Chains A and B, each alone.
Chain A
Amino acid sequence: MLLSPAYMHIPDGFLSVVLSAILWLVSILGVSYALRRKNRDRDERQVPLMGVLAAAIFAGQMLNFTVIGGSSGHLMGAAIATILVGPWASVLVMTCVLAVQALIFQDGGLLALGANIFNIGIVGVAVSYMAYRTVKGLSGGRRWGVYAGGFMAGWLSVEISALAVGMQLALSGTSPANIAIPAMGGIHALIGIGEGLITLGVLAFIYANRPALVVGGGGQNSVSKLAWGAGLLLAIGVAVLSPLASTHPDGLEWVAKQKGFLNLAGGTLYRVIPNYVFPGIANQATATILAGIVGTLLVFGVVLGVTYLRRSRGISDN
């Protein structure tokens, strides 16, 4: 897999089931709202545009440049998609990219896809939109404002998404808060500079060739207050919560509470049959181990049988 971009999305097994379900729900709500907005536009050109742009972002993630030594920077794409086609189309484009990466290339899990869509497709896009629109608005739509806004959108979207991932790992009890959050934040503060610079490069190139694409901002000149506000809220929320979560590793009461809540759901599910005892075996641990061994032997027996059958049929076919 020489050409595939670095594996960077959350795989399955790293998030608690309850957190995955909550983030799936939030992502479904966000994506269906974006779908409604796009359907309302009644611009049928958008369907091929969004599909092809998603493919271009996937391909664009391969265009890397060396930073120092063997490490290289490349594009995540939420910022540039938001700047080129606006927030709603960009939510759909990033959802598309992430879903295909998870389904086809196993970059990111299927159960964790909701979380990945939330972190990049919703948080990343909303934060990019907020940063780009704010800086561009402050400059009065001048050229330097477009560039500075592009850089800010690239950096901030990567940084806030990474902090959100760190918090989710800590909440799931997969990684300790006081290590995961500063580590994710620190590494991605650097990766974000690469993203910002490359976003800037893209904007400079498009500004020189088709300035209308950048100035118009995907054909919508009025600022979407909803997307802007969501971006501001998410950016501030993550920026405030993540240092709080990482500096109180022991007295981190709210995380503990969250964890309790997260484990509860698993507990009740597995307590459907309390005090279950294997017939004839009093010791519970022995019963469990026995069940495991018997089951394993049975299944491996089936595996061997299957192999044997396939092989003998292969011979008779020839």
Chain B
Amino acid sequence: MHVHFLDPFRPRSSPVHRLDARVKFVLALAFILTTALAPMAAWPVYILLFALVLCIKILSDLGVRYVLRRSALALPFVLAALPMIFTIPGEPVALLHLGGWTITVTQPGLERFISIALKSWISMQSAILLAASTSFPDLLAAMRAVRVPRLLVAMFGLMWRYLFVLVDEAVRLLRGRAARSGQSSRPGQRAGGSIAWRARVAGGMAGNLFLRAFERSERIYMAMVARGYDGEVRHLPLPAVSAADWGILIVGLTVLGSLMRLGLLASL
């Protein structure tokens, strides 16, 4: 079995897919920075940012539902900001009675919580669009273009190449454990020994995975040496960014810059 479904890249022939990966990478980072810089409770800015991301979503042919479904995955983290609703002092909006306790929901608290959740959700969508419309080798080229160290880029590439192989191994280990373990359908009947014992089994599986990874890396090294590897990471030179892509980069950055200005308006 191959777990290629882990790969988020969806090949399409949309203008977003065809755009130079370097331009896309820079624009996605600029978008996330603009979202982060938008002040709290700047609702018009959030709406415009969302509209922008929606626009690109439609242009990309990925399907709005696909992106929205994926973007829901990080929502549990929003819990971390939940206490803000009650702890920021300000005008009370509602009183909650929980047993003997009364909790006050304040307006600034509520605004702050919703702002954080929305900003996080909008940023997430642009990151999903980048990953779904750009193949990983193109992303690596984009990282080289923004001067990420060569050694690190080479490691990213190797990790990506063997990720699926090792995830397959992990799935096989999990299947092996499931096949050798008894399981009771009676609720409350615990399968296996103590927690420490179960942790040791999982640890043994992880150790097995690491040993296989070590051995595999030795074989990979031999194969690389056989093909002329001498410790230096070499790349083909990157092709020039086309004039049209430069245009898109400049227009995109201008739009994001003006959204930052609108954030200024909203914060006054």
Do A and B interact with each other, yes or no? yes
Q: Please indicate which of the listed interface residues A45, A60, A175, A295 has the most CB atoms of chain B within 10 Å of its own CB.
A: A60
Contact of A306 with B58 in the complex, beta carbons under 8 Å:
yes
With A20-B36, A32-B149, A307-B58 already in contact, the answer to whether A59 and B163 are too (CB < 8 A) is: yes
With A59-B209, A200-B199, A200-B200 already in contact, the answer to whether A213 and B76 are too (CB < 8 A) is: no
Q: Which residues of chain B are within 8 angstroms of A4 by Cβ–Cβ distance?
A: 6
Smallest Cβ distance from A275 to chain B, in angstroms? 8
Contact of B119 with A206 in the complex, beta carbons under 8 Å:
no
Contact of A201 with B202 in the complex, beta carbons under 8 Å:
yes
Annotate A276-318 by CB proximity to B: 1 below 8 A, 0 otherwise.
1000000010011101110110011011001100100000000
Measured CA separation A97–B264 after assembly (Å): 37
Contact of B166 with A59 in the complex, beta carbons under 8 Å:
yes
Q: Which of B36, B83, B204 interacts with A176 by CB under 8 Å?
A: B83
Q: Please indicate which of the listed interface residues A38, A109, A213 has the most CB atoms of chain B within 10 Å of its own CB.
A: A109
Q: Which residues of chain B are within 8 angstroms of A58 by Cβ–Cβ distance?
A: 159, 163, 166-167
Q: Which residues of chain B are within 8 angstroms of A270 by Cβ–Cβ distance?
A: 39, 263-264, 267-268
Contact of B32 with A109 in the complex, beta carbons under 8 Å:
yes
Measured CA separation A174–B85 after assembly (Å): 10
Annotate B218-233 by CB proximity to A: 1 below 8 A, 0 otherwise.
1011001000011101
Instruction: Give B209-251 interface residues, CB cut-off 8 Å to A.
Output: 209-214, 216-218, 220-221, 224, 229-231, 233
Smallest Cβ distance from B149 to chain A, in angstroms? 6
Instruction: Give A59-109 interface residues, CB cut-off 8 Å to B.
Output: 59-60, 62-67, 73-75, 80, 84, 92-93, 95-97, 99-100, 102-107, 109
Q: Which residues of chain B are within 8 angstroms of A174 by Cβ–Cβ distance?
A: 80-81, 84, 116
Q: Which residues of chain B are within 8 angstroms of A224 by Cβ–Cβ distance?
A: none
B265 at the interface (CB under 8 A from A): yes
A119 at the interface (CB under 8 A from B): no
Q: How many A-B residue pairs have CB under 8 A?
A: 333
Contact of A288 with B207 in the complex, beta carbons under 8 Å:
no
Chain B contact residues: over half helix, strand or loop, or mixed? helix
Q: Which of B39, B116, B154, B195 interacts with A14 by CB under 8 Å?
A: B116
Nearest A residue to B149 by beta-carbon distance?
A35
B93 at the interface (CB under 8 A from A): no
Contact of A103 with B131 in the complex, beta carbons under 8 Å:
yes
Measured CA separation A4–B74 after assembly (Å): 12
Nearest B residue to A274 by beta-carbon distance?
B268
Measured CA separation A269–B76 after assembly (Å): 31
Contact of B58 with A303 in the complex, beta carbons under 8 Å:
yes
Contact of A48 with B217 in the complex, beta carbons under 8 Å:
yes
Q: Which of A12, A75, A295 interacts with B262 by CB under 8 Å?
A: A295
Measured CA separation A172–B200 after assembly (Å): 39
Contact of A11 with B120 in the complex, beta carbons under 8 Å:
yes
Annotate B43-80 by CB proximity to A: 1 below 8 A, 0 otherwise.
11101100110110011010000000011011011001
With A96-B155, A200-B203, A213-B214 already in contact, the answer to whether A288 and B44 are too (CB < 8 A) is: yes
With A32-B149, A49-B217 already in contact, the answer to whether A105 and B210 are too (CB < 8 A) is: no
Nearest A residue to B207 by beta-carbon distance?
A205
Contact of A271 with B264 in the complex, beta carbons under 8 Å:
yes
Contact of A306 with B55 in the complex, beta carbons under 8 Å:
yes
Contact of B210 with A110 in the complex, beta carbons under 8 Å:
no
Contact of A47 with B210 in the complex, beta carbons under 8 Å:
no
A138 at the interface (CB under 8 A from B): no
Contact of A52 with B217 in the complex, beta carbons under 8 Å:
yes
Smallest Cβ distance from A130 to chain B, in angstroms? 22
Smallest Cβ distance from B120 to chain A, in angstroms? 3
Instruction: Give B151-185 interface residues, CB cut-off 8 Å to A.
Output: 151-152, 154-163, 165-167, 169-171, 173-174
Closest 4 CB pairs of A and B: A201-B203, A292-B44, A51-B158, A205-B207
User: Could you list 30 examples of A-B contacts with CB < 8 Å?
Assistant: A7-B76, A7-B77, A12-B127, A13-B36, A13-B121, A32-B149, A51-B161, A52-B162, A56-B212, A59-B170, A60-B210, A66-B192, A80-B210, A99-B156, A104-B131, A169-B80, A174-B116, A175-B84, A194-B199, A203-B203, A205-B203, A270-B268, A272-B261, A288-B265, A288-B266, A291-B44, A291-B262, A299-B48, A299-B55, A303-B54
* Residue positions of B touching A, CB distance < 8 A: 3, 6-8, 28-29, 32-33, 35-37, 39, 43-45, 47-48, 51-52, 54-55, 58-59, 61, 70-71, 73-74, 76-77, 80-81, 83-84, 87, 112, 116-124, 127-128, 130-131, 136, 139, 149, 151-152, 154-163, 165-167, 169-171, 173-174, 192, 195-196, 198-214, 216-218, 220-221, 224, 229-231, 233, 261-268
